[in-house]
Chains A and B, each alone.
Chain A
Amino acid sequence: MAVTEEVVDVTEYTKPKQLFLDTVYDWVTTVDHKKIGLMYIVYALFFLVVAGAMALVIRIQLMVPNNHFVSPQVFNRMFTMHGTTMVFFVGMPILFGFGNYLVPLMIGARDMAFPRMNAFTFWISAFGGLVLYFSYLGGDGMYGAGSAPDVGWFAYAPLTERVFSPGHSTDYWTISLLLTGIGSVGTSINIMATIVSMRCKGMTMGRLPLLPWIYFVMSFLVLVAIGPLTAAQVMLLLDRYLGAHFFDTQAGGSAVLWVHFFWIFGHPEVYVLVLPAFAFANEIIPVFSRKAIFGYPAMVAATVAIGFISLSVWAHHMFTIGMGPGANTFFTLSTMIIAVPTGIKIFNWLATLWGGKISFKSPMLFCIAFLFQFLIAGLTGIMLSAAPFDWQLGNSYFVIAHFHYVLVGAILFCIFAAFYYWYPKAMGRMMSERLAKWHFWLMVIGFHLTFDFMHVPGLLGMPRRIYTYEADRGWESWNIIVGIGAVFQAVATLIFVYNLIVSYYKGEIAGRDPWDAWTLEWATTSPPPAYNFAVVPSVGSRRPLWDIKHPEDPDSSYE
């Protein structure tokens, strides 16, 4: 089953000249999955910088005990907005952006299954982000209480009820998540439909590259998880405006009900964010090790297993809320079991490296850091999964360090890797490798200064979400190191953004396949034309470009 030569598209793409307004019109009205993907990414990068700046404010405030850099009210808004923004307006859109851009290209399709819905879901998600930030102007309400939301990103009831949260700040939070939830559900339906029905000739599910496979599972999780979140938000709105009593404890409502609803969404959400990071690593590690991914079927099975198990672990966020020993043991077990498929993934990446010829280009550097950091994140996760240990660690800075190890050390590092890897495809130019190395090393240093040392105050009793702390607790020196690391990370991120911009104008021309890679997106020009492929490709294995480059030893003879 050799792959035919038609896979390689030989028409060169030239960009037509346009007036500025034409360009704007073109982007606003586009239904092209690549342009929508890029808009998602730019929008998420903007919010990454905004919410990153908030993190800096938080770290400056906590550098010394009883600091007066910001007021408690401002601090509480900062961590609420930082968390909400990073999860819903950085993590989700940037990953949907990469999915939008890459999934059709990698399965040999010309667009997503529903291009117009794709545009709609992008714009409604973007509108959700604007609504959240409009709260700074409109959140005061009649009471003059608060501006932006200050209830924490998981907004435990009954703190969100009108008696404790007057004004409209909580309403902006609720409505922005409702809006972006509509966008997320639409996009996940779109990604699933695209993968099910738009694969090119010869691409069976068994030959689907791991990135679309993982996006398929991730989209399924979004579909399952957003429902409970939306339901909870609607109940909260009913409580606040129509006198319902779902979470109104003073009228017999239940605070624990919200916690269940939120984490039934919230824990699968963690995997929604981390699975795409695995997807990027799955594409990048093999190419820079020059070997096929080790154990493709095991990787798919592990992904599906993580998807299902992640739906049964939510109450590990609730070990201290007063569940009985039965529930505590069940959720300890279900949470620990998820370590098994996750471990399988790490071992398969290790086996992919084994016997390869590893080159340390920037995408690979970020993936290697990811492997080490994700291992540590997983191990601290195991510590937290043991309910008794969690009775101490839960809601402390140890938890903050743990999940930032996942969100930054694993997810953000993989996102950076993905930028360096696919930027040449999207922009047609290479990113500066010199700036990338600066970015990488500053980021590694900053990340470890911040998040390694952040575990310690947690062990010494420092709870999360405190705007200041007492001088006698011995937390100060740790918080100073953590704050210094944050500065390194901020500088690294600015170098990265600078690299993105400067490489667009001055980068080396990439050509269609700068990394000597194997999946279909590298078969078309960089950037790809609107229709992606002049001739729709057909494939005979998981690595169609390998088959073309090595006709004497094609993958298809082993699958």
Chain B
Amino acid sequence: MATIVDYPANMFNPAATPAHSIFGVSMFVLALTAAIFVFVTSLLTYALIKFRKRDGDDSGEPVQVYGSNQIETSWTVIPLLLVLMLFLTSARVILGTQRVTKPASAVDVQVIGHQFWWEYRYPKLGIITANEIHVPVSDPKQPTPSFLEMSSVDVIHSFWIPRLAGKMDLVPNQVNIMWFDPEKTGLYLGQCAQYCGTQHAKMLLRVYVDSPADFAAWVAAEQKPAAAPADAAAAEGKAVFEANACVNCHRVQGTPSKGAFGPDLTHLASRDTIAAGAILNTPENLKKWIADPNELKPGALMPAMRLNDHDLDAVTKYMTTLR
């Protein structure tokens, strides 16, 4: 049996304050419900064994008991008290999580849901990226929590990284806030938790929690415009890319590609995955994806551009240079 560490999206392995406080309240609820379970099932089992009809029993009916007001009152009042206790515990965590003031040191991220990928914008840092979100680790002494402002351009999605926080929906025409302050660097996984259409299952979430130095380096790299094509093949790929409809949907900073419907590709080659986390970012996968996204992710909204093999190789080459 795998250990807890092998489950990357295990809610009982919290790594940030919101997930910790939920973990606390869930342990309390679990303990209480377990106690109720043991109490009631023991009584039920006892009754079923003790009062079973036995062989050779006379056929007479047992004593008829119609009820008792005292007993009814006791099993009304005691559960009411338990409910009150549970409610107060939950209310404390609701208020503690939802009523927080954002510190000045917080990192702001706008999360925008699309069918079927995630757009991330860092308004203060001037970064637009997609599908892989980077945030700094938060030192309890000098907290740098991340505050996510969430919305959607199409249907309802839901952002869920169980180890960092509970889920929060991305609702069109509405801004929802969630926050977390990761304790440890590393990659945290999750996925869309509200059915949003054909490829809901492949709308995966990857949160990279970086050390302050790594985060600063990542920010600096992301802030740069796209690298100029290094060789002729990449330059040809760039020309093909810009001559086709690719530019209507994709943005490559510092080039004429300024589309906003699809993921920003300025630093595509620096990401580990493509297709919202569904596929590893290798040149072979990239080529397959560009040839026909619906082969790899049926229902994806990016059309097959029907490039010939030569152009396909060139565009793939161009993509791999966007570091």
Contacts and interface: CB of A to CB of B under 8 A. Distances in A.
A292 B68 CA distance: 13
A462 B193 CA distance: 9
Contacts of B62: 289-291, 355-357
Nearest to B71: A351
Interface string A429-472: 00000000000000000000000000000011111111111101
A321 B171 contact: yes
A343 B66 contact: no
Interface string A467-480: 11110111000000
Nearest to B98: A325
B173 A371 contact: no
Given A71-B298, A344-B72, A357-B53, A325 B94 contact: yes
Given A73-B298, A346-B40, A379 B33 contact: yes
A327 B33 CA distance: 24
Given A359-B53, A389-B25, A156 B195 contact: yes
A550 interface: yes
Nearest to B63: A355
Interface stretch (A177-185, A212-220, A232-240, A328-336): A328-336
B156 A325 contact: no
A459 B11 CA distance: 6
A353 B47 contact: yes
Contacts, number: 276
Contact of A469 (B12, B57, B176, B201): B201
A320 B158 contact: yes
Interface in A213-249: 249
Contacts of B199: 72
Contact of A459 (B8, B10, B65, B98): B10
A313 to B, nearest CB: 13
B52 A358 contact: yes
B228 interface: no
B86 A386 contact: yes
Contacts of A559: 66
Interface string B53-82: 100010001111111100110011001100
A535 interface: no
A135 to B, nearest CB: 17
A472 B79 CA distance: 42
Given A164-B197, A289-B51, A322-B174, A340 B97 contact: no
Interface in B90-121: 90-91, 93-95, 97-99, 115
21 contacts: A253-B173, A289-B51, A295-B68, A322-B171, A328-B94, A343-B75, A350-B43, A383-B30, A386-B26, A389-B25, A391-B168, A392-B22, A392-B167, A396-B193, A461-B7, A461-B191, A462-B9, A469-B201, A472-B8, A473-B8, A555-B64
Interface of B: 2, 6-12, 19, 21-22, 25-26, 29-30, 33, 36-37, 40-41, 43-44, 47-48, 51-53, 57, 61-68, 71-72, 75-76, 79-80, 83, 86-87, 89-91, 93-95, 97-99, 115, 154-156, 158, 160, 162, 165-169, 171-174, 176, 189-202, 204, 298-299
